[in-house]
Chains A and B, each alone.
Chain A
Amino acid sequence: MEAIEIIRSRTVVLAQANVDTDQIIPARFLTTTSRDGLGAHLFADHRFDAHGQPRADFVFNTAEAAGCQVLVAGHNFACGSSREHAPWALLDFGVRAVISTGIADIFRTNALRNGLLPVVVDDDFHKKLLASPGTEVEIDLRRGTVTLPDGAHAEFEIEPFARFCLLEGVDPLGYLLSKEPEIRHYEGERAWRP
C-alpha cells in the first residue's frame, strides 16, 4: 500500500446525515469479483437518472467537484452494510479522505484497510466545512490535524496501529502473520471448545 502523510485538496460537501452504503454503491453493482472500476458506480442512483444521464444538481456532477479528493459528509456517514465496495468505489473515483462528525464502524475499518482516511472532527469545525464547500484543506496524518486556508484547524484521531500502517505504507496482514507462534500457542493452550 502507498504511504500517506499529507492530503491537500478542495472539498466536496454532501451534508445529509446517515448516508448509507446502499447510496454509496447500490447492491446491484456488488456482483463483481474485482475491486477495480467501482468508481463508475459511485452514488449511481444520485449521479444518474433513470436513463443513465448525469443529474446536473448532484454535487459530484458539478464542475467544482472535479478532482476533489476530500469528501465532507454528514453525521454517521456510510452506515449500513459491510460492503468494502463502498471505500473501493470512493477511492476509484478519486476520494482519499472523508471528514464527518461520525463515521460508521465497519466502513471506518474498511476505509483504513484501503488507505481512505476516515477523519472525525468536532461539530463546530464540521459546520465550518459544511458552510464552505470547495475550500482547500490540508489533512496531516502524522500530526492528526485538518487545517483550513485561514489557519483554523481541528484535531482528529486514527487508531494508532492503522495510522502507523498508513504512514509507513505497510499492510496489517503482515503483522497478523507474524503472530503465528502466538496463535499456535493459543490454539494449543485452549482446553475448552467454544
Chain B
Amino acid sequence: MTATDQRQSETGGPRTLFDKIWDRHVVVPETNMVPAVLYVDLHLIHEVTSPQAFDLLRQRQLPVRCPERCLATVDHSVPTSPASWQIRLADMDVAPRNQIRKLDANCGRSGIRLLGINHSRRGIVHVIGPELGATQPGMTVVCGDSHTTTHGAFGALAFGIGTTEVAHVLATQCLLQRRPKTLAVEMRGRLPEGVTAKDAVLAMIGRIGVDGGTGHVIEFRGEAVRAMSMDARMTLCNMAIEAGARAGMVAPDEVTFDYLAGRPMAPKGEEWEAAIERWRHLKGDPGATFDAQVSMDVSDLAPQVTWGTDPGMVAPVTGRVPESAGQAALEYMGFAPGEPIEGRRVDVVFIGSCTNSRLSDLRQAASILTGRKVAKGVRALVVPGSQETKRRAESEGLDRVFLEAGAEWHESGCSMCIAMNGDRAGGGQTVVSTSNRNFEGRQGSGARTILASPLTAAASAVAGAVADPRSFLDQKRRIA
C-alpha cells in the first residue's frame, strides 16, 4: 500500500467506485481555499479543441509534460464520404485542413502519438480509446470533448474539459478539481427485446432532466447494466453528460476484462494478470453511500425517441408529444401537442457518432435492414466509429447489407452528429439519429433531430417514418 492509499484508508468508511478512483489520483488534497490537484492518466486529443491549448504552451514556453500519456486523433472535421478513403488534405476546406495540419505539427513537435487522417486505426476519439485498450479501469481520462464520459464504462473517471484545461493537462498532467457529488442510477430488471442502452439512458434523462446530473458523477448499477455489453455501457456513459453530469461510470467486471484482453494498448502477460487483480477491487464497498439515488425498472421499457430540442424531451416511440410541451420546441420540430410520434415522416437517418457507432450498434441496424430497403426519398447514412470498426463490419458483410438496402456506407468520423465536416441535413428536414444531441441546428441549420437507438433508426429508414423496431423484430420471427 502506498502512503497515499494509507492516508486515504485512515479516513475510514466504505467508499464508492468514484471515491476510490478520486482518492488515488489526488496529488494535493483540496482545502476551502484551493481545489484538489488531480492527476490525469490518459489525455485524449483531437483537432478542434487543442490548437489554442498548444499555442498557450508555446506562449509560456512550456513543454508537454507527459507526451506518453496523450493520444491524439482527427475526427470532428474529417470528411467521411465514401470516395475519400484516401483523404487528401488538398480536397478539404481551408479551415479544417488548417486544424488537421496544426494537430500534426503540434503532436510531431511534442512527441505525442497521433492517429492521423490516413492512419488505419483512426476514428472517433471515444471509439478508438476503448478499441485500442488505451482506456482502462481505474484511470482518470480527460479530453477537450464533453462525451469523454463514454470512457467511464470501463470503471474510469472520465470527463470533458475546455481548451484552457487541455493546456493545464498538457503542461502539468494535472487539473484543479473540486470533488463532485455522486449519483447512483439503478436500472432494475432486464431490457426487453428491441430495447437498448440508448433507450434506457434517454428514459433516464427524461426522468431526471437535462440538468438532473449537474455537479454529480453518475454510477450506473443494477441488473440491466451488468447484463450490458461494453458497447452498450459506453452508450449509457456517453449520454451521462446529456443529463448535465460531470461523468458516468460502471464498475468493471468480467465483461470489461474480456473486452480489454488482447487489445493493442492493454497490459500483456504478467502485467495483465496483475492488472485484473487490481481492477477486481474497483467497485463500491458494501454500505457506501451516494449523495443522490435514482432507481428505475427497465423491464417494461419501450424504445424511446425525442420529440423536442433537448435530450430530456423524450417519449416512448408509441407515445405522443406531451400536451404541455414548450412552444419553441414544438415550432422548431414541427410537432403539435398530443401528436403521435410514430409515423412522423423522415428525410434522413443517421447511424453513427460516439454514442452508437460501434460494431454491435452496426449489427443491430443491419439486423433490421437485412433483406429490406430504405424507403424511397430517405437518405440513410451509416458512419462507423473507427476505421477498425469499419473493417470488422466489412469482414462480417455488414457493408453489403447497408449498401443493398440503399444506405450509404462511410469512412469513420463524427460526421452528421456535429455536422462540421460537410455531412449535414437541410433546414426543415427530419433526421432520426443515433447521436446524442437534438439541439437546434446541431445536424445542420434548421434540421430537426429525433434521437433514437440504432434499431429504431434502421426501422425508421425502412418505414420512411418514425417506426417501432419491435414490430420489425416480430416480422422477422414470423418469416423464420
Contacts and interface: CB of A to CB of B under 8 A. Distances in A.
B211 A79 contact: yes
Contacts of A109: 161-162, 165
Interface in A79-93: 79-84, 87
Nearest to A159: B178
Contact of B52 (A34, A76, A191): A34
Given A31-B99, A34-B52, A192-B2, A16 B37 contact: no
A23 B440 CA distance: 7
Interface residues of B, number: 78
Interface string B197-216: 00000000000001100110
Contacts of B163: 35, 84, 110
A77 B441 CA distance: 17
Given A23-B439, A45-B440, A80-B146, A173 B171 contact: yes
Interface stretch (A65-73, A121-129, A143-151, A179-187): A179-187
B275 A186 contact: no
A18 B210 contact: yes
Contacts of B123: none
B210 A189 contact: no
B172 interface: yes
A102 B275 CA distance: 41
Interface residues of A, number: 54
Contacts of A35: 52, 163
A110 B41 contact: no
A22 B76 contact: no
A179 B244 contact: no
Nearest to A86: B162
Contacts of B167: 173
Contacts of B55: 33
What are the 3 A-B residue pairs with the smallest beta carbon separation, nearest first? Answer: A31-B95, A110-B162, A84-B162
Interface of B: 2-4, 24, 27-28, 32-35, 37, 39, 41-42, 48-49, 51-52, 55, 60, 62, 76-77, 93, 95-96, 98-99, 102, 136-140, 144-146, 148, 156, 160-165, 167-168, 171-176, 178, 210-211, 214-215, 244, 246, 267, 271, 275, 278, 310, 312, 328, 418-420, 427, 437, 439-442, 445-446
